[in-house]
Chains A and B, each alone.
Chain A
């Protein structure tokens, strides 16, 4: 069956590229590290996805073989060249949740793992590239010891790990049982005999020194939690017995990747059992497991955390606003905005299991006594707003719809005292379209004309700026998108006037005209690059690296499956983790 893509073509990419490659844009310099300029990004990716120069019709035939098949994915597509995996330090939330699942809430409350360091917008990318410091190792030692000490307050759990009654401090066999059972859960794989012996020696020294078997238990738990096998996701893979040029993540590596990706925590015992039994060695087994994981409450929390990261909602925690401009700004309002955005996403993903792209133009939101009045909304059932959030229709006149008209993004993507069409446009290019925007250059004037009679509105001020060809080449890709959102001020309040002038909010994105958030979302959701970008972002977080040119075509093909399943995000997650791009790794280099 030949499916036509003309209904959702990629004109915007070409438009953006034309602008970015224009004269005066400083992006043309190739780095001495071999990385290419930004304009190569979308071109390279989508050209490959479209099977070369044959245009969008080509992508149909390229992708149709695998689309829609539930068992697709056991045979890697010829184009797939998986990147070599790196050691991936557990993220802050992974570490804390793993301690919770291994030892309980008490121990989880006393750990303080290092902060994450994002690279390219993803914590997971930084965690796969950076090395530990003295301070981090010290923190991990302190946290492990504190967690182990707290765990000794829950002897029922400790005894369950032991499965034996110690005969005395010198009962090495009983220590060995604990190392094997607890170690397997903490390291997410069975320990070798040599590893068990190494850690039994740690337990024995402590037990014999103190004369207390359980001092040995406490010390060995602390030691196992400092091991690189706990701290890093080790994803070395193993050669496919049928074709040694291919490497797949082992069952235990896959269980680990699945659990941290889908539930932000360590694999549960049943999942490790499944890995032991070889159930994660093929796509069907992986689908089954992923479906089960998505039914756990932790899956919802994990996606909340993921969206808080990629949509930058967590910046609301410390976001400052100019009290002279927005006296109503408060930490409570900021948190309500974050909740509003997450509730919309949860509604689409979990309650409705609907077309995920609705998050861009849904004509309703979730409001309470913080955000409801900010938007001028009245409670749907009448009466007064309360603390609780109510699903509320959005009046068309506000042009609101989807996340782009919500307070959270409008506040984060703004300056402290004003809006920023540039930041809004940059976010949409980067986070929603997966395009690269180059960094601002050095040694250029960054003066923006002040608000005045000639240019009363932010749009007019920036449009003056855009007459500078050195700036325009790149700002043309960003600012116009933001111009169409100028009805929402720097904390998302609707306005039609700025400095006494009417704000013109009719603008263009990728050749399509729009006015306001809902129309912008409507335009974006029709663009294939947007649904491909949903996949790319999930992959970046789940696999710990930005997809390479050897992986991108496979991810682009997956978009067909995404569409075939009505753009269900839950279904996409299952398809993604079963995909060869997610399951395979290159040979360590």
Chain B
């Protein structure tokens, strides 16, 4: 099995992002809207999630996502590497969002806030 293959498949073969950390999910969500480089990612994530990723955290998560083949680096433009989400990344993000959605619905129902 290739390095990272087991990690990519995940424990249940579904939600590989469960253990990847919040930064990875935020980055994939940002890249789902189009390819971006580091600075644009930080700004976009701050805009939609209100979270300011540190540059060290960003590059750590980018390396991890790249190792998992969930994103890929595009050719550099003016010393910046834009990143793009891969089809595997889209699948992983969708599985993770479905998982979060189930938790959200259950939580709202149990709090008496309605399931929608």
A, B assembled together: no
Interface residue ranges, A against B (CB under 8 Å): none
B binding-site residues for A, Cβ under 8 Å: none
